[in-house]
Amino acid sequence: MKTKEVLILPGDGIGPEVCHEAKKVLEHINDTKDLGITISESAVGGCAFEEFGNPLPEKTLKLAQRSDAILLGAVGGPSWDNLDYDLRPERALLGLRSELDLFANLRPAILSKYLSDSSSLKPEKVLDLDMLIVRELTGGIYFGEPRGRSDTNESAFNTMVYSKNEIERIGRVAFEAAQKRNKKLCSVDKANVLEVSVLWREVISDLADEYPDVHLSHMLVDNAAMQLVREPKQFDVIVTGNLFGDILSDIAAMLTGSIGMLPSASLNSKNQGLYEPVHGSAPDIAGKGLANPIAAILSVAMMLKYSFSLNEASSDIEIAIQEVLSEGYITHDLEGNNNKKLSTSEMGNKIIEKLI
């Protein structure tokens, strides 16, 4: 039987608080459904720097390489803002992404019908919104060479480069994700201006022959940004490069209201995955029991689905969360009845109650 080793990296700020609740949910579903998952924990980020002088200690990296899936809370905080670039907590995240070659970033933007008042768009525009952005994470203009300054320091340059292989592998992740959803894929590029986008469009179009059940369309990134706020429900899966995906996924995140609700996955070609809430370490509310643990718990649901193909267990968690929200229970970041506002651990417990 395939191993199911999960490494939890709680990190800093609210990371340990939300990971604690996510771990409770994972342990509960593992026990009741006998999923055979083993769980270990290690240090990452600012707390790892304090203990080991390194935000990504060797021991943590080795455990990460050996594990099948990683759940990360969040890293960073004001205590470490003045450290040298290489010692900053955020370097641990970049280190994990590059060491594990986590090239595919999956960010669902789902709006619970019980929270449509929390969105920045009118409720009818976002009611039942359920889309997925697949962003290429290890290539494109963020990594392309050459980059730098001219000799006279009068100009600066970066290079947007994608190989056919890089486009093909992210394309496959997106087509396969679309197959598991509503079978609609929109590839976003800037093919009217950029040569790299012309290649992107060619490679994605060629791949479409292998996925005849998926309807493929192409859209220019400026139009995609507009369409996301005009009519977001037209999208099922979007696939795009690193820079465009960075921007579009933040637009999509705002459509769903609170950052405390959004999970993400970063996958490599061996289906190893790093799962994490989209939010950061929220130092302003850390240690107060105010953090919403739902993004971390939904990250566990994504892990069960994408790393272990445990689709039923994954949707059990999603359904339990919807049930809790349908009864009006919320956390402090969400709009609603003050009498039903739960602390971080109360929310975790409520979700577990619904799983029984």
Q: How would you classify the pairing of strands 148-149 and 156-157? A: antiparallel
Establish if 292 lies at the interface with ligand NAD (CB under 6 A).
Answer: yes
The nearest distance, CB 93 to ligand NAD, in angstroms, is 6
Binding mask 11-30 for ligand NAD (x = CB under 6 A): ---x---x------------
> Measured between alpha carbons, how far is 122 from 107 in angstroms, rounded to an integer?
22
Under the binding rule (CB under 6 A), the answer on residue 176 touching ligand NAD is: no
From the list 31, 81, 117, 250, the catalytic residue is 250
Residue 222 among the catalytic residues: yes
The answer for residues whose C-beta is within 8 angstroms of residue 283's C-beta and 6 or more apart is 13, 77, 78
- Using the contact rule CB under 6 A, the part of the chain among 20-28, 56-64, 282-290, 315-323 near ligand NAD is 282-290
* Residue whose beta carbon is closest to ligand NAD: 280
- Please tell me whether residue 280 binds ligand NAD under the rule CB under 6 A: yes
Is residue 210 close enough to count as binding ligand NAD by CB under 6 A? no
User: CA 272 to CA 315: how far, in whole Å?
Assistant: 20
305 binds ligand NAD (CB under 6 A): no
CB atoms within 10 A of CB 30: 19
285 belongs to the binding site for ligand NAD (CB under 6 A): yes
Cα–chain-centroid distance for residue 197? 24
Looking at 71-79, 116-124, 136-144, 196-204, which segment touches ligand NAD (CB under 6 A)?
71-79
Burial pattern 84-97, b for ≥16 Cβ within 10 A else e, equals eeeebbebbbebbb
Kindly tell me which residue out of 96, 203, 265, 282 binds ligand NAD, with binding defined by CB under 6 A: 282
Q: Reduced to 3 states, what is the DSSP secondary structure of residue 48? A: helix
Judged by CB under 6 A, does residue 333 bind ligand NAD?
yes
Of 54, 52, 108, the C-alpha closest to 263 is 108
Contact window for ligand NAD (CB under 6 A) among 19-27, 48-56, 105-113, 287-295: 287-295
Which of 31, 128, 222, 284 is an active site residue?
A: 222
- Nearest distance from C-beta of residue 26 to ligand NAD, angstroms: 17
Which residues are within 8 A (CB) of 238 and not within 5 positions of it... i.e. 6 or more apart?
A: 131, 132, 133, 134, 185, 186, 187, 188, 224, 248
Contacting ligand NAD (CB under 6 A), which of 281, 299, 307, 314?
A: 281
Residue 330 DSSP symbol: B
Shortest distance, CB of residue 11 to ligand NAD, whole angstroms?
6
Is residue 174 involved in binding ligand NAD (CB under 6 A)? no
Select the span of 94-102, 211-219, 280-288, 318-326 touching ligand NAD (CB under 6 A). Answer: 280-288
52-70: b (≥16 Cβ within 10 Å) or e: eebbbbeebbebbeebbbb
Among the listed residues 224, 313, 298, the one whose alpha carbon sits nearest the alpha carbon of residue 265: 298
74 binds ligand NAD per the rule CB under 6 A? yes
Contact 197, 190 (CB under 8 A): yes
d(CA 5, CA 119): 36
Is 190 part of the annotated catalytic residue set?
A: yes
Please tell me whether residue 102 binds ligand NAD under the rule CB under 6 A.
no
Which of the ranges 68-76, 152-160, 302-310, 318-326 carries the binding residues for ligand NAD, by CB under 6 A? 68-76
Assess 253 for contact with ligand NAD (CB under 6 A): no
Cα distance between residue 263 and residue 276, in whole Å: 6
Contacts of 2 (CB under 8 A, 6+ apart): 68
Closest separation between CB of residue 285 and ligand NAD, Å? 4
Which residues are known catalytic residues? 142, 190, 222, 246, 250
Give the residues lining the site for ligand NAD (CB under 6 A).
14, 18, 74-77, 90, 93, 259-260, 276, 279-285, 291-292, 295, 333
